[in-house]
Structures are given as C-alpha cells and as structure tokens.
Structure 1
C-alpha cells in the first residue's frame, strides 16, 4: 500500500520533487484519504478534474437551462459553472429583461402580440465553418413557444429572438448547416399553420408538421426572417434534426414519431396517446435537399404565404425531387450525421438497436428513383434495408450520439439501462459500456457533433439524480457526469448537480476558439453592438425635461453615480441613460431604484437605459448593486417624486417657525453668506467671459444672455429680502434669500457652460494627437475622477507633467501600470488623501501617448481652466 501511495504521490506532485517533500506529501495525502474514506482511484479522478486557482478549463460547455428559459455555461474538466445567460426569461443579476435595451430583445419573442416571459430551452447549437465550430454564435430553441434565439459569443448575451410564424411547438431546433447559412428548426406536435381553429377531426387535412430553414447571416449573427422558409411535412410529429456535411452537405435529416397520426382522446374513452402513437413498427426519417429548396423558395410560384411567411408545400418539394422518407425504428429520438457526412445514426427509444444509414446508398436510391412506395401525402419512401449500412443492438432505450476523433467510434446514451455505450458504427461492434446515474438523456462530447470531434471527455446529461447529492427536498437537481474517454475504457470522473431547470442538451467547444470581450468601446449598446443613443461621458451628465418626460444622462464610476439627486413629478415618464465609465476589466456596476422594480447591469464601457413611470410619490434611494470598491455603500443617490397637485410645506419653514429671533438671525446670516460666496463664483466667471471677449462668439453670447435672464431677477428678490429684514420679519427675509440662491445656481449653471464653450473657442488648436488624447481621456473614464481645473474625486491634472522629474515618463507609467506605483511616497499620499487608488484602465501605449499630448495642451491653456 505504501508503494502505491508513492506512485500516487508522484502523479499528483510531480516526479521532480525531492524525496523528502514527496514523502511528506504522501503522509499528508494518506491522512486525508483515510479521514475521508477515499481510494487511490478517487484521488486520481479528483486530480483529473481539479483546476488550481487561476488555471482555466480546456473546454466550455453551453447547456440548455430547460424550464429556466436560459443557457448555463460551465467548464470542462472542472465542471465549474461560469455563467447563466438570459434568453427567453428575465435574468435578474445581469438586468436582462429589466433594463429597456434587454427588454426590447425579450419582447422580440412576443407571439401574436402576447408577452411571453417563460421558455423551455432545449437544443443549443454552435455556429459552424466547414462543419467545424467557429466560436462566434450560439443558437437555441424554445420548445414551449416555438422560437429561436441568437447569442453573441463575443459577450455571451442574447441579441435576437425570432418566433416561428407557423409552428405551435418545436423540439428539433436548433441545428446549423455546415457554414451557418441556415438554422434548422423542426416542428414537434403537428398543428395548423394558420392561427385559426380547426377541429381535431380534420387532423389529416389541416394539421401539419414541418421544418423551418432560418436564413442566417454569420457576419452579423442575425436570422433574416424574410429570407427564410418552411418546408411543409405531413402531420407526423417531427423530432430532432441534423444537417448533412461533407458528401451529404446540402441535405437535412429530421426524424419523426406518430406516423400513425393518432390524436388521442382519453376524455371520450379512447386509448391514450402513448398507446396510439407507438403502434407502428417504424416511423419516418425525413430526408430533404434544403439547398435545392432554398432556390425553389425564391420563386413565388413555389411557395404559399402563411402569416407573412413562405411555405413550400409538400407537392412542390416532391415534384422537385427534394423530399423523401425512410422508415426508421419507432419513436426515434436522435439523428446524428457522422463527421465525414457519410453516415446517419438513428436511435429509437423503443428499439434496442441503433440504425446506421449510408448516405451513398440513400443518394443512389434517389438518383435512380428507386422507391418502395409513397406515404398518404405522396412523398416517396426509400427502402429501409437498402438505405442501411447496418444495425447494432446496443441496449435498452438508445437515444443520442456523439462522435469520437477515432474513425468509426461513437458514443450513445441508453436511457433505460442508464449507460453510455462506445461502439464502432462502421464495423457494427460494441466496444465498452459505462454505468451512469440515472436515466441519461443527451450526451455532450467535446465538439462531438462537428466535423472535428476532439474526444477526451463526454458528459452524461442525466434526468435523475436520486441519491447522488444532499437532499434539498422533493425537487432534485439534474446530474451532469463527466466521463474520461481518453483510454481504452471509459471512466466516470465526477458528478455535477445542476439546479436550474432541466438541462436538456449541451454542446462543448474548445475554450481557445472563444474570444469574448473584456470591455466595450465606451458608450456601446451591448444589444446592438453600436453606440448607444444615451452615451454619456464625465462632464456630460444632465437632467432634461420635455413636458412630463424627464431624461437623465448619468455616469457610473468607482465610487459615485452622477447625478446623485433626481427630482421628478408623480406621473412623469423617466428615462435614465447610464454609462459605465470604467475601462478596468471586471469592474461592473449595477443600478437599481428601491421599490421601482428596475435593475441594470453595466459592464465597463457599456451604456444602457432604464425607463419607467414615476407612479409612486416619495423618496427612493438608488445605488450600485455590484460591490465595486471600498466606498461601494456610498455609491448612491435619491430619486425624489413629488405630487404636482400637492402643496408641500417646507421642513425648513417649519423649523423656522420654532426658532428664536437669535436663531433666525443666525440662519439669515448663514444664507446671505452662502449667496455672497456663490455670487463671487459667478463674478469670477463673468470676469473670465469679459476678459476673453465672449461677445465675439455668438454661441457663447447666447448662453450669457440666458444666464443674465436669471441673474437679473436677483435685485428684485434682494430688495424684498432687505425690506422684510428691516421690518423685523427675518423668516420672510430668509425665504427671499433662498430664492436668490436658486436664481444664482441657475445662473452659475448656464454661466459655467458659457465659460467651457468659450474655452474651446479661444484655446490653442489641438493637434490630432491631443484631440485623440482628449477622446481617450473621456472614453477611458479618466474624467470620472479627474476634472480639469479643479480637485474632484482625484487631483486636478493641470500641470501634472511638471510635478515630477521626467514627468512624461512618470505619468505614462502611472497610466499604463498604476499598480506598480502604489508604494511610491507621492502616490501613497494621494491614495491616503482621496481614499482611492488609480485603477488600471488598460490604456494602450498609443492612447497613453495621445493623453500626454492632451495634458500638454491643457498646460498650454492653463489660464483658461
């Protein structure tokens, strides 16, 4: 036993360790194994799935979230969940379905004008180039409400939802064609294509199945509904599909059940569906030439329009030799094309065999028009035996297949036997079986349905977990089990509970093929990839009112939301555009307003919008929902909603009523002093404007006129204040002084905008580099903390290049690598004073050079700031 522990130690610790270290580790390992009752193989399996901190997975898995309506993302071999992607249902953490922009995506999924906020995600599919996963787009269907969603793997966000205009349910979606020209979506339960009532007695005449070929643009990652079409099928229940590749490229394969066309009727004494729908010995595999049908659909004579959607009728497809049927084992569930495109494997739940069809034989029968008959709708039927390469008995309840990189090898799930079987579909030979827990449905191989399967691992998506995990009540999690398939025999490594819906199917891709963003270009609408209409940079924050519509342009940066106070009237429509000014990776900010059911999640550089009616009177704090800094709790503000029909008595007035004469006099003196200080600011602005001949610039002169409109109202209020004070009515005098302060604030606001505008008019012309630097300074979020000309959340940068020896080099390094300078005495003093560290905003060297030129331009015009 000691010898085996030493061997195990070398596996876990590495052969280069010294004997003494290895022995010490061995002793510790022995102790842990004994305490936990672990065997050597347990520890080896743990080592195969363990990722030390900072080590990333080789593969990324996208699993359907079933009844959650979402997608689950996790890594292999660690089996660590990385993300939930909101698709057909709201996802609260990311604000999906709560902010206006993501809600617009969710509402694309409305059906016949009805809001649908629930979905049953089933079959995710990765976009392909030459039959290989390219890591750009992910499509997934909603079985409950026939829809296809597109997820951008640049940021793992849903960008489009397209409802099927003719299907009432689907199960067989989504499946990309080899170069992502189309996405295949098959109907599940036959139903009328139109939206009218048709009695069940007319089932064979008016109910239909079908396959929709959604035209897809892989450059922009969007379905093009107007260029899409549906192939009408008989009212059999279609199930899963796969697109041909290689020599079968251009063809599609969709299996079916209920070729009996049974319609049930327990309530009227008929046998249930499960009896009537499995009566036949075989069902039908639909074989169709989608490439030919896509050309046919361009001619209006070949289609009928249903719900503004093109449908190719059965007879048109048949007449053009583009639709055929082949008998298959009854109640089939999987149809999977081999990596080279020659073989198609179909498994039937009620058959112990897997059927391997040979496309060459199928094509020969089609070319020779060698049919064994026709179905009731005139579709040619190919002979099953003549189409088969062969059949192999695998076990009870074969369902789904995933291919191996080893020629001829495939893995199949056995639902009833709760096993995975490895077999050779060319030699028709069983090679290995592995027990799983329990009732496995789909399998997920590493790119196992592509033209380039990787092997290494396979994942069993088990429907039941029974006794595998801690009991958390009658509703158990699903169980995904990772199986090592790199050796001669399979080895089950680890269980992973998944407690979010029923994860029906999953696809896996090499992590090296994924290249998601870590930040957005400043002001990006992540749902469109374009600049957001509400993009707001530091210094551009404002509140605008047009009638009863209040629009707020806000920014978020560690550790403040600007503006911090928003006052609106009850009944106002409030639109809040928010921009995350961060450039640092992983510096997400959230935003919510208490009691208003709003939430936005903003990644670095993103702009999003919240919109709501302020229908509740009161004071409502808003805050950042992401713990983003040491001053996270201070990152807040107030939404104040007042009723315009109410008259509010100021608390300040109430306070004054209870004040003594001496207290009122002190309050009066304080208010007058504040006004005097505010007026001093105004006069300094006025002096700047006059000294720099503002009247020569019309746009500035117009702003000055606006400012004077407010300022010229002050003398009248001051006269009233002085008269009240002389009469001893100090309370009234204070109220007039408060009115003066309001007018001064309005004057200062317009006056400062006039000054800023004038600065731009009279400052020296910026070089191209300085102009780029100013843009980088703004879009990099720098002015979230640094306001040129004054101290804000960070120091004023006017003259910063002169504060340090070799200032250009010092500032450049601080921009590029601030974390390396935190211990510098000067920097440490700034950190202590401002209680903030300069974050790494990941500026490029080129951007940094431009910012230096911008800072030089500021110094040239320092007298203007």
Structure 2
C-alpha cells in the first residue's frame, strides 16, 4: 500500500485539466488505474519530480552513521548526489588511497592507532549571525571522539582533529552564531587522562566535558592550540546548542544519568538502563562560552591534560560561567529557538516538551537565586522558575526543527512514530503526521538556523520494516519528505538510505553553495595550495635518486604521460598526477594493478600515490573514470625488474623461431626504423648547428648528453654489420635494436635541446607575455592545444590571423565560448575534434595576457 490515504478514483477538474495538457486525461487515468494511484499520490509525485536538467531548491547533508561518511541529496527530488569520505576510505574519490587523503585520515589516528571507520552523527554548517553559510561543514565521530571539517568549495574533507580528553562523544558538532567555536560534548563519562581508573572511583575521577574547538574562518581550519575544554560532572552529556540573539554567548548541553549509576549486570545488579532512569529529572548544563574563552587566557584558570587546556568545574563556577537546570529524565534534544529566547527539551521517557525561557534563566543567575548545588558545587536553578511551560506532545519527544512562521516548531516522537507541529509560545499542538517508523532526528529547510525557511520537513526514520522490497535482515533506513506548507502536513516521499545509519541531517538553500567546478591548475585539494608535484604539459619526467623514483605525470583525454614507467624491485615510487583538463566534469582516475592505489583527479587537481615496488612483474595502469570515446586506450605499463637478475630477451627467443626470409624482413624493418630515427636526429643537429647552440650553456650541456649517447652507436652498429656479413641475421637484428635504443635516447635529449634553444632564440618575453604563458599553462590550454601542431585541438599558431577583428574575437571566445558555438568555423572545429572549448572562467586580464602570448608565438613561429 502507498503511504498516502487513498481517495476514490475520481479526478478533479483542475488536476485533470493540468495533466491532460501533457499526457491526455485518458492516458493519465489508465496509468493511475494500472498502478493503483490516487489523486493524492499523483500530487505527491508532482511535488517531488524534477524534469531532466532542473535543479533542486535545497541541498541536504546527511551523516552516514557507521559508514563514517556524509551523504548529499536534493530536496524536493530526494536524489542522492554524492558521498563524501570523512573518517572512512571512499574508493570512488580515491579517499584513503592517494597520499593527500591518506594524510587527512592519518591525522585522525588516536594515540598512534589508525582508525579506519567512524560513526558520523551531527553535521552543521558555518554560520554568520546564526544564519547558514555554505563555506564549510563540520561532522563528529561518536565512536572515536573526533571532529572533521569539510570544505564546501570542493566537497572534500580538509581536516580531522582528535579530541585529546574524551573517550566517547555524541554532542557534536554544534556551531556558535558566528562560527567562533564548534562545540563537542562527551557522552559516556570516563577519566580525562589516559590512565587506568577502576569504576569505584567513578565520582572521584570519571568526568564529562565539553570542548570548544576554535575555528579559523580565514584558513578554514580548526585551531587546536586555541581550543579548550570545560570539565563537567560524570553525568552522561548528550546534545548541545549555542545561544543566539538575547542568549548569545551561552550554550546548552543536556544529559542523562544524574544518578551516576555504574551498572554491573554481570554481577547481578540492575543494568545501566534501569539505574540510569530512576530519577525524575536529569540536568541541562548552562554555560557561558564568552566568559570561558576569557578565563582560558590565564594559565591559572586551566590545567593541562594530554597537552590540552581544561577549565575545571570549580573555576567555571567561581566565575559564574556554569549552572544546572533540572529537565525531564533521559532527554535527547536541546534546541534554541531562532530568536534565542527559548530552549526546547524533549524527554525520551516523557510525553512532554519543556520550553525554558532564557530571560527567566538569566534573571535567576543575575540574582544568584539558586535551588541548591549538585555534589560538584554547581549551582542548580529551579526548574519551575525557568520554564515558560510544557506541552504534552506524545510518546518519546526527541528533536526539534523550526518553521519560518513565528513560534512554530516540529518535533519527532520516537515511540509514537510521528512528527507533531506545535506552537511553543502559546503552548498548543497544531497538527501531527505518521511516519514509518521510529523517527529520530528531523529537519526543516534551514530549520535550525536563525532564519528557518520551513517549507519541507525531513523525517529520519530508524526502521523501514515493510516500506521497501526486502533485501535481507539488514533493512535500509528511511528518509521521508513532508510538505509542511499547508494547514495539514502531507507525507510525499520515501527514500531508502542503504549506507550506515544516517543519524541527522542539515539543509541549506542550493543558492548558498558556491563550489568550484574545476581546480586552479596543480592544486592539492586537501590543502588548497599548489601541489609540489604540479606538472604541466611538456614537464612530464621520471627522476631517480638512489632507490627513490618520482614520476611527474599528466592526464588529458585520452592519454597518461608517461605511458611507460620502469623501476627496480624495492624502489620507493611516488607518482604525481595532474589533470590538465579545464572542462568541468572531465575527471580522470588512476589505478595500478596489485599495488592498492587509486586516485581521483578532477580537472586542475594534482594528486599523488606512493608505494614500494616490492613485486616483480608487468603492471598495467589506466584511467578509472570513463572520460572519452578512447577511455579504454588511456593506459600505460609499469615494469618492475629485479636488478639482481639476468633476463633472457623474449624478443631474442622469438627471432630464433623465425625462418630466414622472415628474419630478412625483420632486419629490413629495423634498418628502416633506425634510418627514420636518424633522419630526425640529423635534422635536429642541423638546426642546433645553424643556430650556434654552443653559445648557450644549458643547451650545450644537453647536446653533449645527446652526443654521448650517439657516440656509442658506431661500435654497436659495427657489431650488427659484422653479424650480418657472417650470416647471423638474428644477431644483427638484436644489435640493430640496441642501435635504436641509443638513437631514441639521443633524439629525446636532442629534441629537449632544440626546444630550449628555440626558447632562448625567441624574442624575449615581456612581463605581460610571461604572464600570458603562465595563464595559458595553468589554465590547461595546452591540454588540447600544442603550439606548432594539431593535437586534441587546433594549432594556435596564426590564430590571430584567422578572424576579422581577431583580438576581440579571441577575447570573446575565451571569455564565453558558448557564444561562438553556432558560428560555422567553430561548428567545424567542434565536429572535427569532437570537443567543445570549455569556459575556463579566466579574468579579463588573463585573457588579454594570453592574447599577447599568442602574438609572441606568431612572432617566433619561424623557429619551429
């Protein structure tokens, strides 16, 4: 059955008119009958359906639970866009396989132990004035107390920090209104140091804590040195929220186990769940982080635990920075209203939601009117005197999300499996809707910010039971979309989530997200800086220093350069990979057989992989991302040979099997190849001599290297000729192959000498031309264009002679290529090369500089 209430199969005139214009009423009615759909079902589908190419209004970031990742999906379509690797390797993006992301994961090691999984729970955006800013996202790891920063300029994890004193946590990550701090509260009380302490020392040594991670917005990183913690009693702290508006500077963290019960089911004692829920109330912690950040500036106000600053309970109390308020037993949510005046708390074992009034709280604190103190000396405020009121909502109220309408809030009811809409100012319920089943967190669009939008609600259901096709005993979670724009809430979509237990979500208007579509050429995506391994076209090379081999490679449709990498067994190999593409979505991947390395290299990005070549053999590598029609051809080979072994040539073995006529044919073939190669060498030599290469020291050195290789040919050639005269054609062929090897090395060095000499002879580059060349290279233009020859795109030599008012034409084309796509010339180029010039989003100055560089090329065209 559908989750929607069925109505008799009668279409209203309005719906029929609207639909029939597209499908014809009879066709729509037929589909509805065949699929047993009601009018309400069709309306729900219309509210969520996004035609091809239409984008969602909101983007949702969901914790991935035990996957250790984050999921990203759209509303209202509920289409999943991406997984973001955070605490766990994610192969598609190479997260945990390339060196840069390995460094991020390694920073999450705890006491030297590598942790390869996480339990992500509460995502939160950076904020300004309590409003969401789509620059960075924070997420906590409940299982291993850690906090991560995700850079929303590229949706990649850029930092993981380990909490130095907590042994578990749940209350992260909650953000102060201007992202001054990210709040992380512990869960299960434990000693703050790393030593052994028996459970009978619970009240004396075991503690809770709340950590205030200082966020450096300019750097996009948590500053661990400026972060600190507040010691709390061994009540099990849970969720938190930061005050805003009139409660700015304060924060609130709830708890359970005010009993400080320590269990012992194995000893015949009642289990934790019984002893921890005996009291009628637990405690909400109320603390002033603005006072605390001032206190931590003075060493006398904190102690150092595991190289981390911790403000003791006694110091916080003495400075009026920490208080307790009773709250219903076993609470699981604390939420500050958009204006900052009220704090909402729901108790899992209660039917009420409690609304606390911050004005009353502040008044009691100012008057020092307390109901008493807890065993640790923390002042306790009277619960009744702090309450605005309570509302009976149903069984198991947990979490809250707000509407744009003043005073309206939505609360999840875990036991009743409902979302209830109510008025927290006038203390009355307004509506409720059933969900499927056992809802935990919920969200409305930007519903936890200072300016909630409302519009839709998301119910995060723990169970799905009968909602989807069975897939075994482990069922998916169920995220349900609810339309909250009308007087009655309407459930309009079920979405199974097959990845961990997505614990909480946060939503933002898509217009607030401004991710880059490509990287600046050579970017290390985890630091945002230029990679030390950035490699532009023409800079590809292999460098060896002892047993360390470094490969500088590039990727562009449809080849990896170099295509052959030869190393010795035992070498330490690092391969830097730069994607030269500037067209968005032209990602390339890189993987090598056996060595468990993978990298995802988006346009402009440089990534690297490192490994020890400890296995002899031949190992293909290839692009893992289907990027072009010739994707399968985008590959190469790595050869690992044992330097202590003598290898017998398979080519020699093959030659031995050939007949005499076949050997003669093979001999003539290699002679012809060598002649063609030597012709190239002689043309280069002629050019070098004519241009007096000896006047240029760097060129002269390259020429000497080339001549050294070429000088070895005569001796080998003589051996080949002698073998041929003796009738040993097989031997002659092998020696001629050796001649070819020397020729290839000579040609390689010689061509580099020619290129260097050409540049030296060319008209000196003015500063603007040099800037133009830099913009040309970093813009990745050379990924498709090769000066002096046709490649994946046309030769740019003479491009300024091909069009009327050429400089303006080229400027306009680079600025916005799409404006020229329909011109006959450009159409012909697109059809020939099967590529379209992408918009590289260059500045006007960069384009002007490139035009000056193109002029310089034309001036020196005769040197090629």
Give the TM-score category using the shorter length: over 0.9
* Contact 1:208-1:234 at 8 Å conserved across structures: yes
Q: Provide the C-alpha distance between the structure 2 equivalents of 1:60 and 1:592, rounded to a whole number of angstroms.
A: 32
Q: Which runs of 5+ in 1 are unaligned?
A: 14-20
Q: 2:16 — aligned with what?
A: 9
* Contact 2:9-2:38 at 8 Å conserved across structures: no
- Larger mean Cα displacement after TM superposition, 403-412 or 172-181: 403-412
1:658-699 Cα distance to aligned partner (Å, 9 max, x none):
233443333333223222221221121122122112222222
SS in 1 for 2:481: strand
Q: 1:699 — aligned with what?
A: 698
Q: 1:313 — aligned with what?
A: 312
Q: 1:184 — aligned with what?
A: 183
* Contact 2:442-2:458 at 8 Å conserved across structures: yes
The alpha carbon displacement at 1:736 in A equals 2.5
1:276 has 2:275 as partner: yes
Q: 1:17 — aligned with what?
A: none
Q: 1:64 — aligned with what?
A: 63
What does 1:43-82 correspond to in 2, within 5 Å?
43-82=42-81
1:561-606 Cα distance to aligned partner (Å, 9 max, x none):
1111111112211111111111111111111112221111111111
The alpha carbon displacement at 1:463 in A equals 0.5
Length-normalised TM-score, structure 1: 0.95
Change (3 A) 1:823 1:669: farther
Q: 1:39 — aligned with what?
A: 38
Q: 1:840 — aligned with what?
A: 838
Q: Provide the C-alpha distance between the structure 2 equivalents of 1:445 and 1:406, rounded to a whole number of angstroms.
A: 12
- Larger mean Cα displacement after TM superposition, 648-657 or 414-423: 648-657
Q: Provide the C-alpha distance between the structure 2 equivalents of 1:414 and 1:219, rounded to a whole number of angstroms.
A: 40
What does 1:592-741 correspond to in 2, within 5 Å?
592-741=591-740
Change (3 A) 1:605 1:197: same
* Contact 2:126-2:136 at 8 Å conserved across structures: yes
* Contact 2:520-2:779 at 8 Å conserved across structures: no
* Contact 2:396-2:414 at 8 Å conserved across structures: yes
Change (3 A) 1:6 1:849: farther
The alpha carbon displacement at 1:393 in A equals 1.1
The alpha carbon displacement at 1:618 in A equals 1.6
Q: 1:195 — aligned with what?
A: 194
Q: Provide the C-alpha distance between the structure 1 equivalents of 2:802 and 2:239, rounded to a whole number of angstroms.
A: 69
1:525 has 2:524 as partner: yes
Q: 2:3 — aligned with what?
A: none
1:425 has 2:432 as partner: no
Q: Provide the C-alpha distance between the structure 1 equivalents of 2:463 and 2:535, rounded to a whole number of angstroms.
A: 50
* Contact 2:371-2:382 at 8 Å conserved across structures: yes
* Contact 1:555-1:562 at 8 Å conserved across structures: yes
Q: Provide the C-alpha distance between the structure 1 equivalents of 2:222 and 2:808, rounded to a whole number of angstroms.
A: 50
The alpha carbon displacement at 1:2 in A equals 9.8
Change (3 A) 1:763 1:392: same
- Larger mean Cα displacement after TM superposition, 787-796 or 398-407: 787-796
Q: Provide the C-alpha distance between the structure 1 equivalents of 2:320 and 2:843, rounded to a whole number of angstroms.
A: 61
Q: Provide the C-alpha distance between the structure 2 equivalents of 1:656 and 1:589, rounded to a whole number of angstroms.
A: 39
Q: 1:157 — aligned with what?
A: 156
1:279-324 Cα distance to aligned partner (Å, 9 max, x none):
1111011111111011111111111111110111111111111111
Change (3 A) 1:651 1:793: farther
Q: Provide the C-alpha distance between the structure 1 equivalents of 2:671 and 2:789, rounded to a whole number of angstroms.
A: 25
Change (3 A) 1:758 1:23: closer
Q: 1:748 — aligned with what?
A: 747
* Contact 1:582-1:841 at 8 Å conserved across structures: no
* Contact 1:253-1:288 at 8 Å conserved across structures: yes
Q: Provide the C-alpha distance between the structure 2 equivalents of 1:830 and 1:248, rounded to a whole number of angstroms.
A: 63
The alpha carbon displacement at 1:121 in A equals 0.2
Q: Provide the C-alpha distance between the structure 2 equivalents of 1:807 and 1:465, rounded to a whole number of angstroms.
A: 64
Q: Provide the C-alpha distance between the structure 2 equivalents of 1:827 and 1:67, rounded to a whole number of angstroms.
A: 51
1:125-172 Cα distance to aligned partner (Å, 9 max, x none):
111100111111110100000000000111111100001000001000
The alpha carbon displacement at 1:44 in A equals 1.2
SS in 1 for 2:87: coil
Change (3 A) 1:832 1:184: closer
- Larger mean Cα displacement after TM superposition, 814-823 or 796-805: 814-823
* Contact 2:816-2:839 at 8 Å conserved across structures: no
What does 1:312-461 correspond to in 2, within 5 Å?
312-461=311-460
The alpha carbon displacement at 1:31 in A equals 1.8
The alpha carbon displacement at 1:849 in A equals 4.5
What does 1:852-863 correspond to in 2, within 5 Å?
852-863=851-862
- Larger mean Cα displacement after TM superposition, 255-264 or 673-682: 673-682
* Contact 1:537-1:581 at 8 Å conserved across structures: yes
Change (3 A) 1:824 1:696: same
1:500-538 Cα distance to aligned partner (Å, 9 max, x none):
110101111111111111111111111111111111111
Length-normalised TM-score, structure 2: 0.96
Change (3 A) 1:396 1:3: closer
SS in 2 for 1:525: coil
1:742-792 Cα distance to aligned partner (Å, 9 max, x none):
222222222222111111211012344433332333223332333223344
Q: Provide the C-alpha distance between the structure 1 equivalents of 2:361 and 2:350, rounded to a whole number of angstroms.
A: 22
Q: 2:546 — aligned with what?
A: 547
* Contact 1:542-1:554 at 8 Å conserved across structures: yes
Q: 1:100 — aligned with what?
A: 99
SS in 1 for 2:37: coil
1:587-634 Cα distance to aligned partner (Å, 9 max, x none):
111111122211111111111111111222221211111111111111
- Larger mean Cα displacement after TM superposition, 707-716 or 597-606: 707-716
1:209 has 2:208 as partner: yes
SS in 2 for 1:386: helix
* Contact 1:6-1:23 at 8 Å conserved across structures: no
* Contact 1:216-1:224 at 8 Å conserved across structures: yes
1:83 has 2:82 as partner: yes
Q: Provide the C-alpha distance between the structure 1 equivalents of 2:23 and 2:243, rounded to a whole number of angstroms.
A: 57
